[in-house]
Amino acid sequence: MAPIEQADVWLFGLLNLHLVHPAADDLMVFLTMERLSWHIYLLSALFMVIRKERSALPVIALALLSVGLADFMASGVFKPFMQRVRPCFALEHYRLLVIQVRSYSFASSHAANSAAVATITWIFFHKGSRVEQLFTALMIIYALLLGYSRVYVGVHYPGDVLVGMVIGVCSALALYLLFSWFLKNLVQPALMRQESRLNG
């Protein structure tokens, strides 16, 4: 076992077996189960619509596309390529708090998806009003807690979560840069030409 993998297994044991408390178990299960916490994203989208009105549509679209790309990279590329067995199936000592089907572990698609949404939120809201800055901080905290919950409930190593978050951030940034290029080089010039024809 490589030193990095040994450290990952040791950290998993620390977070999954030792730094735990019964009072936190239900919270971690709630955060890690999408069927329980899906309404958090719904409320986030509602907040975006209230704050930005029509201009919220491209933000929400970018968030959804970022999640799609991040999920594809984590589950469609990294998992079948790396084929890392989940800790709950590879180790003898662990706490498993959720039902987990057999699938590969590296990288965490949950962490990738939540990090993608948090990144898009940061791009569009971190320079806004106090309430928008608070919203940005909450979305980042939620993404971090969701990633942590994947280790806490026993289905991912910390390395899976860390790489998943990197995938999510990179996916969101890549799509935002593509969107910005498209807007600057294609949409805005077309609007300027149209305005010029109308005024001329």
Q: What is the pLDDT of residues 146-172, one digit of tens each?
A: 999 999 999 999 999 999 999 999 999
Rounded to whole angstroms, how far apart are CA atoms 83 and 104?
6
pTM of the entire predicted model: 0.91
Tell whether 102 is covered by a domain. yes
Tell whether 200 is covered by a domain. no
Confidence of residue 37 (pLDDT cuts 50, 70, 90): confident
Give the least confident one: 5-19, 23-37, 67-81, 142-156: 23-37
Q: What is the pLDDT of residues 121-131, one digit of tens each?
A: 999 999 989 99
**Distance separating the N- and C-terminal Cα atoms of the chain:** 72
Tell whether 25 is covered by a domain. no
Tell whether 46 is covered by a domain. yes
- Whether residue 196 is predicted with pLDDT greater than 80 in this model: the reply is no
SS3 157: coil
Geometric angle at alpha carbon 40, from 67 and 78, rounded to 5°: 25
Rounded to whole angstroms, how far apart are CA atoms 41 and 38?
6
- Percent of the chain exceeding pLDDT 70 equals 99
Tell whether 198 is covered by a domain. no
Report which residue type is found at 99.
I
Compute how many other C-beta atoms are within 10 angstroms of the C-beta atom of residue 34.
Answer: 13
Tell whether 12 is covered by a domain. no
Rounded to whole angstroms, how far apart are CA atoms 35 and 113?
15
Tell whether 10 is covered by a domain. no
- Among candidate residues 151, 147, 81, the one with its CA nearest the CA of residue 117: 147
- Whether residue 117 is predicted with pLDDT greater than 90 in this model: the reply is yes
Confidence of residue 1 (pLDDT cuts 50, 70, 90): low
* Residue ranges making up the domain that contains 131: 37-193
- Among candidate residues 131, 152, 126, the one with its CA nearest the CA of residue 31: 152
Domains: count for the chain = 1
- Whether residue 200 is predicted with pLDDT greater than 70 in this model: the reply is no
> In a 10 Å sphere around its CB, with 0-12 CB exposed, 13-18 middle and 19+ buried, how is residue 22 labelled?
exposed
